Chains A and B, each alone.
Chain A
Amino acid sequence: MSDPAQTTSQIQNELLAEVQAELARRNTSQVTRKPPPPEPEQDSVSPLVASALLACLAILAGTGVGLSLGYGASPDDAAASLDWLQRGSAGAFARALHWHGANLMVLLCGAYVFWLVWRGLYRKPGQARWWRAGLLLVLVVGFSLTGQFLPYDQNALHGTVIRLGYLAEAPLVGDWLRRLATGGGESGSAALARFFSVHVIILPAMLLLLLRGLWGDARYSGGWLPMAGVSAVVVVLLSVVSLLFGAPLGLQGNPGEPFPQARPEWFALSLYVLLKALPSGLAQQLALFGPPLLALLTIGGLPFVEAAADQPARLHKPMRMAAIVGVVMLSGLTLLAVWEDHKAKAGWFATDEMDKLMAQVGRRNEALGHSTHPLPANAHGPARDIRLLSIRLRGLYVNDIEEAQKAQWDKWISEMESLADEIITTTNDAERRIVRAKLRQVCADCHKLHADDEIALEPKLAVPVAQLPTRQTTAPPSAPLFDTAKLAMLSPSAIEARDLKSTRRMMNRSKFRLRDLLRAAGEGEGTPEGTPEQNYLDLREAVKLFGTHWEANQSSHADKSKWEKFMSDLQRNVDALKDARTGEDARARFNAIGKACDDCHSAGDWDEPFEWQYSDLKR
C-alpha cells in the first residue's frame, strides 16, 4: 500500500491537469468556432446622431398619428380642421411639435450624412449604414414636400403649385409625374388626397423597412447615458420651441388669389434663389435635377468607388472638400435668399397693404353668404380668414386717419376679430346669422368714417335671366339735363381741408358725383344720391380744386405740366356738361368727361394705381 497522503495529492494533480486541458481546449475552440463578421468602422458620434434621429422620428410619428385623426384632407376642410384641432392646447402643441420636429429631422439627417462623409464611414463594410442614411434623407425630404401641402393654406398651396410646375419640367417623365402627384391639373382635392396618402401611409411604410437597420446604427457602445442624453435633448428642445412658437397656419388656400410671398422650406431656399437667377430651359433643368441626381449617384455608388476600410482611402480628401463646398454653397445661397427678401420686403418680410387686406376681407365676407340665407357649411374657412386678416389690420391705419380716431379703429378691428371667431364657435344657425349681421355692421360703421367708397356688405345674389331689367328702347324726348334756375340758386358744398390734401378723397368726391349724375341721367344703374343740380355743382367745384391739387400733394404726381393738361381737359368737359340735353347729347358729353378721366388714369407714371375706369361708374 502506498502512502495515502501521497495518493491524494497525486489524484488532485491529475484532476487539475485534466481540468486545465479541458479549459484550454474550450478556449481554443471558442476562438476558432466563431470568427467575428467584419464590423463597420465604429465611431462615437454617428450612433448618437442616429439616436437623436430616432427620438425625433418617434415624436413625428406620435404627433402625426394624433394630427391625422383630426384632419380633413380636402381644400375646404384642411386648414379649418387643423385650426379646430389647434383650438385645444394639446392640439396646438402637437402640431407645433410635428412642425418643428420635421425641420429638426431634415437638419439631423443632413448632419448625419455630413458626418459619415467627413469620417469616411461610407466605406465597405459600413456601406449599409451609409445607404440607410442616404435613403433616410431622401424619405425625409419626401415627407417634407408632401407634408408642406397638407395644411392647404396660401403658402402651402401656392408653394406646391410652383414645385409641381418645376417637377413638370423634368425631361420625358415630368408631366406624367405631375399628373400622378395631382390626379389632374389642379392642385386641389385630388392632389390633397394623394399627398395625404403618400405622407401618412406610403412613406411611413417605406420608413418602417429602414427602421430595423437604423435601430442597429444607433447602438452605442459607450454606456447608455449619452444615448439617453441626446434623446432627452431632442425632446426638451422641441418641447420648449413648440411651447414658445406655434406652427404657422395662414389664410385658407385659394388658387384664385395670388400669393407672391410663397417661399419654399428653409432647406430649399438655396435652390429657390438659384432658379430665380437662372434663365429657363437647360440651365434651370440642370440646377433642378442635377444636384438631386448627383446626390443619389453619390449615395448609391460611393462605397463601390472607394476602397474598403482596411485599405488606404482614395476619395476621402475630395469627398471632404465636396462636403465643405456643398455646405458653404447651401448656406451661402440660403442667406442670399433671405437677404434678398429682406431687402425687397418680400416673402417672409412682406408688409401688408391696406387695400389688399380689405379686398381679401371683402371676398371672405361674400363667402359667408347672403344675410337671407343660412351660413354655408364651410363658413369656418372664411370666418377664420377674417380673424387672421383683422389681426393684421390692427395697428395698420388708413393714411389720413386722425390720432383721435385710432382707438376707435382698433376697437372695430377687435370686434371684427371676435365676431369672426364667434361664427366658428357658435353652433346655432340663428345665432350665427346674428353674428354675421353684427360683423357686417362693424364693416359698414368703419367704412362710413374712413372710406368714401360704398361697400357691398352682401354678396350678389344670382338673378334669374328672365328677371334681368330690360333696357328702354325708345328714347324719351330730349330736355335740358339741369334746371338752370336751380343751378344759379344753389352753391357747391364745402370741402374739408383734409379732403383737399388727399388725392384719393378728391378723386372719390368727383367720382361719386359723376356716378350720381350718370344714374340720374339714366346712364348708370342704381339710385342717385341728391339732386342732379347739386351734384353737378359739387362735381364742378371738386374738379376745379382738384386742378390746383398738384401744389398740395406733389408727391403723387410726377409731372406738373402733364397734370395740368389732364385737369384742364377735365374741367373744360365738366363745364360743357352744364348745357347738356338728355339723351344722345348728354351721353356724348358724359363720355367726353369719362375719356378725360381714363386718359389721365392710363397715362402711367402716377405713384398710385387706379382701380376704376369710367365704364365702372355706369354699372
Chain B
Amino acid sequence: MPKARTQPQQPVPEQPDRREFLRVVVHGGVLLGATAVGGVAVWQQSGGESIVQAVLPLAAMASLSKLERGAPARFEVTLARRDGWRVVNRSRRVYVTRVAGGETPESFAAFSAICPHAGCEVELAGKQYVCPCHQAKFDEAGAVTAGPAPRGLDPLVLTVQDRDGQPWLHVAWQDYVIGTEERTARTT
C-alpha cells in the first residue's frame, strides 16, 4: 500500500509484556551476578592488615641527656604500611619532652604529632603545640588550651631497649581514632 510506505519507520513500541520482563530479569540478573563477583573480589582485598602499632627506636639514651625540661624535641619514625598491593614506608613525627631528671623511660613523655581534631600534624611554637590546619593549641603537657581539638595530644608509651649494645629510647607507636573526645586506639 503506497500510504504505508510514506509512513516514517519508527519502531513499534511493544507492550511491556511478560516476555520482555523476563528478559530484563535474566540479563539483569547475569549483570548483577557478575558485578557481585567483582564486588566481592574487591571487598576481599580491601583493608588488609596495616601496621598501626609498632615499637620503634627513637634515639640513644646518651644523646638524650642533653634534652632539657621545657624544650621538646621532634623525632621521626618510619612505619611499614600496607597500601593495596604495595608495602610502603611512611614517616610519622613524635615529640619527646623531659618530665623528670634521669635516664629512665619515666624521665620523658612522648606525644604523637597527629592532631586529634582532624589528623593534621601539630608544630612546635615556643613551649606550645599549634596545629596549622585549624589553629588548635596544646600546652607542653599536651592538654588543649585553645581551638577545636576534642582532646589533648595522644601520649605514646616509651621504653628503653638495647640497640647495637647501646640503650636506646624506643616509642610504642599507636594510631588513635581522630575527632572524638574519647581516646580510642585504632586496630586497623
Contact = CB atoms under 8 A, between A and B. Distances in A.
Contact of A55 (B7, B18, B30, B89): B30
Contacts of A67: 38, 41
A250 interface: no
B34 A432 contact: no
A378 to B, nearest CB: 7
B162 interface: no
Contacts of B12: 36-37
B54 to A, nearest CB: 7
A427 B38 contact: no
Contacts of B38: 62-67, 69, 90, 94
Interface residues of A, number: 58
B37 A63 contact: yes
Given A35-B4, A378-B86, A65 B35 contact: yes
A45 to B, nearest CB: 17
Contact of B45 (A35, A80, A91, A93): A91
Contacts of B3: 35
A427 B82 contact: yes
A54 B35 CA distance: 15
Interface stretch (A135-143, A224-232, A446-454): A224-232
Given A36-B12, A62-B31, A428-B51, A377 B41 contact: no
Contacts of A60: 34
A458 interface: no
A37 B32 CA distance: 35
Contacts of B10: 37
Nearest to B32: A62
5 nearest A-B residue pairs (beta carbon): A66-B38, A62-B34, A88-B44, A35-B4, A84-B85
B165 interface: no
A533 to B, nearest CB: 43
A379 B87 contact: yes
A110 B47 CA distance: 42
A77 interface: yes
B27 interface: yes
Given A62-B31, A63-B38, A35 B23 contact: no
A429 B12 CA distance: 67
Contacts of A80: 85-86
Contacts of A274: none
Interface residues of B, number: 47
A426 B54 CA distance: 14
B84 interface: yes
B5 to A, nearest CB: 9
28 contacts: A35-B7, A37-B10, A37-B11, A59-B30, A62-B32, A62-B34, A63-B38, A66-B38, A72-B85, A77-B85, A83-B85, A84-B84, A85-B42, A88-B44, A93-B41, A97-B34, A125-B9, A219-B23, A224-B18, A224-B23, A227-B23, A235-B30, A235-B33, A374-B89, A377-B86, A380-B87, A432-B80, A432-B87
Interface of A: 35-38, 51, 54-55, 58-67, 69-70, 72, 77, 80-81, 83-85, 87-91, 93-95, 97, 125, 216, 218-219, 223-224, 227-228, 231, 234-235, 374-375, 377-380, 426-430, 432
Contact of B88 (A91, A125, A377): A377
A63 B86 contact: no
Contacts of B11: 37, 216
Contacts of B85: 72, 77, 80-81, 83-84, 380
A88 B19 CA distance: 38
Contact of A228 (B26, B31, B41): B26
B22 interface: yes
Interface in B10-28: 10-12, 14, 18-20, 22-23, 26-28
Contact of A62 (B4, B14, B36): B36
A91 B38 CA distance: 7
B40 interface: yes
A374 to B, nearest CB: 6
Nearest to B88: A377
B54 A85 contact: no
A90 B37 contact: yes
A89 B45 CA distance: 10
B86 A218 contact: no
Contacts of B43: 90
A182 to B, nearest CB: 25
Contacts of B54: 428
A56 to B, nearest CB: 9
Contacts of A61: 31, 34-35
B39 interface: yes
Contacts of A66: 35, 37-42
B57 to A, nearest CB: 11
Contacts of B82: 427
B34 A427 contact: no
A87 B45 contact: yes
Nearest to B31: A58
B23 A218 contact: yes
B104 interface: no
Given A218-B23, A227-B23, A235-B33, 9 more contacts: A37-B11, A55-B30, A58-B31, A63-B34, A63-B35, A70-B41, A81-B85, A90-B43, A94-B41
